[in-house]
Structure 1
Amino acid sequence: MQHIIHSTMLNTSNRGDCMVTRISGFYKNSPEKRLEIIAKQLNLSTEEKNTLLGNAGLSVNVADHMVENAIGSFPIPLGIAVNFKVNEKDAFVPMATEEPSVIAAASNAAKHSAKGFFTSYTGSIMRGQIQLTNVIDPYGALARIYENKEEILHRCNAQDPTLVSLGGGAKDLDVHVIDGVAEKMVVTHLLVDTKDAMGANAVNTMAEAVAPFIEKITGGKAILRILSNLADQRIVRARGVFENPFSGDKNVQEKFIRAAELAEADPYRAATHNKGIMNGITAVALATGNDTRAVEAGAHAYASITGRYRPLSHWEIGEDDSMIGSIELPMPVGLVGGVTASHPVAKVAIKILDVESVEELAGIIASVGLAQNFAALKALAGEGIQEGHMKLHARNIAMQLGAKNDEMDKVVELAMKQGKISYDKIKEILLSLQKNNSNH
C-alpha cells in the first residue's frame, strides 16, 4: 500500500535566494496587492492565485470525495504572517483562522526576533497501539511479544513496502501492561517512522494486520488497533530571542515574566496560555491541510505528561533586556497524502511555505506558536489583550451592518476613540457618518 511520497519527490521550491518576508506595511495593502507581492516572490501561477482568491477553490465535487453527505464548503479566511525567518530561511506563513488579531500578532512578534527562530526535530515516529484483553499471563505475554519482535516488524512492513523503501516503516516495539478496571491489559506500541506523511493510515493498517499474530502468541483478544495522537517521539522544539521588546521598561518586562510563571503554577492560566499558542499552530496546520484535531490532542496531552497540565513554552530574560522563548510539543503533521494532496488551497499554501520536508514544516509551525505566545504575553503585560481584538470586532460589526469599504476605517476609528465597542454603538456611529455624508 502506498501511503507516502518521499520528500525528495516534492518540488515546492520556486523562489530565488533573495526572497524577503520582512515587508514594511504589508497589512496596509489590499488583499489583491498582498497576493501579488507573495505571488511575485514565489512564482504563483494564475490558477494558484485564483484558487487563493476564491475563484477556483474547493468545489462541491471535490468536497464530496473528501467527506460524506457533502453539500458545499465552509470558507475560512486565509492570511499570511510575514517577518518570519526559521533556521536562517525566510518564510511566508499561510494561516487559516477566523479569529481577529492572530495573524497580525504573529507577524508583529516575528519582527521582534531579529535573528529569527531556530528549531530541532526528533524525527517522524508515530505510535500504533494494539490492546489485548483476556490475557492469562500478562507479563509472560509481554515477554513473548518482545521475543517475536522481528517477525512482528516484518509483518508490519509487508503492508507498506513503498514506505520501507524510502527509509520508513515499523522500527521497534514498546509493550506495556496496564491496569484496567476489570483486568490487566497488554498494549503493544508499534513505533513507525512515517517520514513526510502524518502516517495515520499507514500505522492503522499495520496495527490491524499484525493484531491476529499477536493474539496467537499471547492467547489474548485484540480490541483497539489504532495510532496514538500522543506523538511523544515526534517532538519539535523552537527557540527565539526577542530583542529588547519593551524598550528597556523593566516594569513591563517583570509583568511579562510573572504572567509566564502563573502558567507554570496554575492549570487555569496554563489552559489559556496554551490556547494562545494553538491559535497560531492550528491556523498553519489548517492552512496546509493537516489534521488540526490530532495536533491539538497531542499538544494538550503532552502538556499533561508530567501528571500536571503545564505550559508548552518557557520564557527567560537574556542579555540587553532580550526575552528568550522556547517551545516543545509533538507535531504530527505531513506534507503528502490526505487533504494536503487533495485540497486545492492547501496545496498552494504548502507552495507558499516553500518547505521540502516535514521537519521544515514542523519547525515553522512551532515557531509560529512561540511567536503567538510572545505576542499574547506582551499584550497582557502592556496595554492588555483587548485593543487589537476590539478593533477587528468593530470592523466585523460594521461589515454586518453594511458599511462600505470607504466607511469602515472611519467607523472603527470613531468607535475606538469613544472607547465603546458594541452593536448598538457601531450602528449609531455608522448611521451618523452616513447621514453627514449624505448632507454633503
Structure 2
Amino acid sequence: MTKFYEKNYQDRLMEVTPDKDLSGVFEKHADLNHEKLIENYLTDFSTPVGILRKLRIDGRDYVIPMATEEASVIAAANNAAKYLPNIQTVYQTNLRFGQILVIGDFDRLSALYAENKNNWQGIADAAYPSIVKRGGGLKQIHFRQMDGSHFSFDLLIDTQDASGANIVDTIAEALVEELRSQKVDVVAAIVSNLPTTSMTELKTLVSGIDDHTAERIAELSHFSMIDLHRAATDNKGFLNGASAVVMATGNDWRAFEAGAHAYAAIDGSYKALTSWTINSQDQLIGRVKLPVALGIVGGTIDQLPTAQANLKLLHASSANELAKAVVATGLAQNFAALKALVTQGIQKGHMKMQHRAIGEAHE
C-alpha cells in the first residue's frame, strides 16, 4: 500500500478533501517545487513583502525587504528611519554554538577532554571538510559542568556565510561517535539557538525629536528594564521589524526569536533587548545587543527564489552584514513603537493602516 507521503500531489489533494472549491484554492497557490522542502506538501501560505526604503547603517543606505502581515509595521519602520541618521556597529562576533550533552564523573570527563581535544579537532575537520576549505569549521571546544553529573562539550564553529545548523549538527554528531567509543554517556548533540558566540551590537543617535519626547521615550524604555510585562511587549515591537527581515531572507525566524528571548533573560530576569537613554549632551541614544545566527547561502535559502531575490535587493555580502540589517531594522521598529506610545498613542497609526487594509480587501 502506497504511503500518503509517497503519493503524487493530486492523489494527496483528493484524499485530504473532496471539496473541489477548497482543493482548487490549495492547488492555485501551490508550487510543486516546494514538495522537496517539506513532507505531505499541500500549498503555499504567502506573507506580503514590503520595503524599508532607506535605513543607514555604518554610513551606507540599505533597501531592506520585510515579510509581515501586520499592517502598520513597514510604515512605522520607514517613518522611524528618518530619525535615525546612522545606525552604527559596536561589535560583531560570528561563531555558531553547538553542544554535546553528557552524563558522567567530572574527574574522568575533564581528564578525557584535556587528553583528547586536539584529536577531536581532526575528527571535526574530517566531518565537514568543505567548510574547513573555506576557512571555517570547529574553532574551539570547551568543557562545562552544569550540575553534579551533567556536562556539556561546547563547540564553537565558524560556518562562514551559512546559517550553519546542519554544519554544527554534522560536526557534533561525528564527535559523539568518538565519545561513545570511549564509553562516554552521551545524551544528545545539537546546535544551540542561544548562540552567544555570534553577537551583534548596534547603537544609534536620534535626531529630529523634541526634548520632552526624548525624555518620555527614555522613561518608557526604563519600564521595560524593570517590568516583565512591559519587556515582553517592547521585545515584540523589536521583533516585528527584525523577524520580518529574517523571514524575507529565508532564514529561520523561530530560531532567531528563541535566541532573542533567551538572551533577554540571560541574567535571570527578562528584560528588553533595546535600551534608550539620554546622554550627557541631552541626546537620545538607542542600543541593542543580541545573538544573531543567520545565513545568506545554503539550506532552504537556495530553494526559495524570493529569498534569493530579497537578499540581492538588500545587497548583503555576508552573514554579518545581514545580521546588522536585521538588528538595525528591529531597532528602528522599536523606536517607532516607543515614539508612538509617548505621543499620539499606538492605535492611531495602527488602526489607520488596519482600516485601509480591510477597506481594500472588501472593494
TM value normalised by structure 2: 0.89
| Alignment of 1:156 onto 2:124 | yes
Give distance in 2, aligned partners of 1:87 and 1:62.
38
Q: How does 1:242-257 map to 2 (within 5 A)?
A: 242-246=206-210, 248=211, 250=212, 252-257=213-218
Counterpart selection for 1:232 from 178, 182, 196: 196
Counterpart selection for 2:175 from 190, 199, 210: 210
1:146 Cα deviation (Å)? 3.0
Counterpart selection for 1:142 from 96, 106, 110: 110
**Equivalent residue number for residue 268 of structure 1:** 229
| Alignment of 1:292 onto 2:253 | yes
Give distance in 2, aligned partners of 1:131 and 1:320.
49
Question: Displaced runs of 4+ in structure 1, greater than 3 A?
Answer: 318-322
1:120 Cα deviation (Å)? 4.2
Report if the CA contact (8 A) 1:124-1:196 is conserved: no
Q: How does 1:244-393 map to 2 (within 5 A)?
A: 244-246=208-210, 248=211, 250=212, 252-318=213-279, 322-393=283-354
1:71 Cα deviation (Å)? 1.2
Give distance in 1, aligned partners of 2:144 and 2:282.
47
Report if the CA contact (8 A) 1:60-1:70 is conserved: no
Report if the CA contact (8 A) 2:224-2:271 is conserved: yes
Report if the CA contact (8 A) 2:72-2:354 is conserved: no
Aligned residue for 2:146, secondary structure, equals: strand
Query: What are the Cα deviations for residues 244-288 of structure 1, in whole angstroms up to 9, with x where unaligned?
Result: 323x4x2x3332111100001011111111111011110000000
Report if the CA contact (8 A) 2:198-2:292 is conserved: yes
Give distance in 1, aligned partners of 2:89 and 2:29.
33
Structure 2, unaligned runs of 5 or more: 1-27
Counterpart selection for 1:81 from 47, 52, 63: 52
**Equivalent residue number for residue 149 of structure 2:** 184
Aligned-pair identity (%)? 39
Give distance in 2, aligned partners of 1:357 and 1:63.
26
Give distance in 1, aligned partners of 2:279 and 2:154.
41
**Equivalent residue number for residue 158 of structure 2:** 193
**Equivalent residue number for residue 95 of structure 2:** 125
**Equivalent residue number for residue 20 of structure 1:** none
Amino acid at match of 2:274: S
Amino acid at match of 1:389: H
Give distance in 2, aligned partners of 1:315 and 1:150.
45
Give distance in 2, aligned partners of 1:83 and 1:120.
21
1:59 Cα deviation (Å)? 5.6
Aligned residue for 2:119, secondary structure, equals: helix
Give distance in 1, aligned partners of 2:66 and 2:237.
14
**Equivalent residue number for residue 414 of structure 1:** none
Aligned residue for 2:173, secondary structure, equals: helix
1:341 Cα deviation (Å)? 1.3
Report if the CA contact (8 A) 1:80-1:93 is conserved: yes
Give distance in 2, aligned partners of 1:350 and 1:298.
22
Query: What are the Cα deviations for residues 80-108 of structure 1, in whole angstroms up to 9, with x where unaligned?
Result: 00221111111100000001111111111
Count of aligned positions: 336
Give distance in 2, aligned partners of 1:143 and 1:369.
45
1:204 Cα deviation (Å)? 0.3
Moved more, 104-113 or 117-126: 117-126
Q: How does 1:63-102 map to 2 (within 5 A)?
A: 63-102=34-73
Give distance in 1, aligned partners of 2:313 and 2:282.
34
1:159 Cα deviation (Å)? 1.2
Aligned residue for 1:112, secondary structure, equals: coil
1:321 Cα deviation (Å)? 5.0
1:397 Cα deviation (Å)? 2.7
Structure 1, unaligned runs of 5 or more: 1-56, 404-440
Give distance in 1, aligned partners of 2:334 and 2:66.
15
Report if the CA contact (8 A) 1:95-1:280 is conserved: yes
1:222 Cα deviation (Å)? 1.3
Amino acid at match of 1:161: P
Query: What are the Cα deviations for residues 325-361 of structure 1, in whole angstroms up to 9, with x where unaligned?
Result: 0110011100110122110110100000011111111
**Equivalent residue number for residue 105 of structure 1:** 76
Give distance in 2, aligned partners of 1:58 and 1:323.
46
**Equivalent residue number for residue 22 of structure 2:** none
Give distance in 2, aligned partners of 1:396 and 1:364.
27
Counterpart selection for 2:134 from 132, 143, 166: 166
